[in-house]
A = this chain, B = another copy of it.
Amino acid sequence: MVKHERETVAAIKRAALFRALAPATQARLAASVTTLNLPRGRQLYRNGERCPGLYIVVSGRIMLSVGATDGDSKVIELIGPGGHVGLAATVLGTPQAATAETLADSTLLLIPREALLDSAAHIAELGLQLMAALGRGVCGLITDIEAFSLRSGRERVANYLLQLATANGTRTRPFTLPAKKSLIASRLNLTPEYFSRMLHELIATGTITVNGRQITILDPDRLHGTSR
């Protein structure tokens, strides 16, 4: 086995989707994978195109968005290493509902649709993992819709920061926003201007400090209070 093959197996093992699978299954998937090295700003696919397969993010960052590429658009999700892109459209075989684009130089694994479905049909545990991932997608989107419909901009910002912080261990340890602020704003259904104002409101009350994309939560309890 050459070095490059060992690396793709290692990347598969690190992917959230495949971590729980038996080594033999991981190896089988790795066999049908192609590795992509893409520069920043490249689109994986556009809204409406057919999706060649499932992408696993090894390094870099991917933005999922909807709306016109030129005019108004809205960020659905920001996906980092270990995550995956394009699962729903791949299992359906229908045109994509969103557009995916690299936000930084990224390396991805592409598992072709045929290989994925074929493996899922033969290996029950893989099928269950894919279902679970899709289920998590559904729940996440429902939670987003709830937030957009029922919570104020301020609440959404507070809640988002809290989520990032808890993902990063202790809530008071500084962390970095996963993209530039205008994209975070869009992810939260806000304009960059309004997002900035909300951030500065939190700074003014001594709840957080901001230094570029670096955020420190000073008062988690107060932040939690304003997120509800």
Contact = CB atoms under 8 A, between A and B. Distances in A.
Nearest to A121: B124
Contacts of A41: none
Interface in A93-145: 94, 97-98, 117, 120-122, 124-125, 127-128, 130-132, 134-139, 141-145
B148 A87 contact: no
A167 interface: no
B67 A132 contact: no
Contact of A66 (B92, B94, B146, B189): B146
Contacts of A128: 91, 117, 120-121, 127
A88 interface: yes
Contacts of A144: 145
Nearest to A73: B150
A171 interface: no
Contact of A76 (B117, B127, B137, B142): B142
A119 to B, nearest CB: 11
23 contacts: A66-B142, A66-B146, A66-B150, A67-B146, A67-B149, A74-B146, A74-B149, A89-B139, A97-B139, A121-B124, A121-B127, A121-B128, A122-B124, A130-B131, A131-B134, A134-B134, A134-B138, A138-B141, A141-B142, A144-B145, A145-B145, A145-B148, A149-B189
A106 B7 CA distance: 54
Contacts of A130: 131
Contacts of A124: 120-122, 127
A92 B148 contact: no
Given A76-B145, A130-B131, 13 more contacts: A67-B149, A72-B150, A73-B150, A74-B150, A76-B142, A87-B135, A88-B139, A98-B142, A120-B124, A120-B128, A137-B138, A141-B142, A141-B145
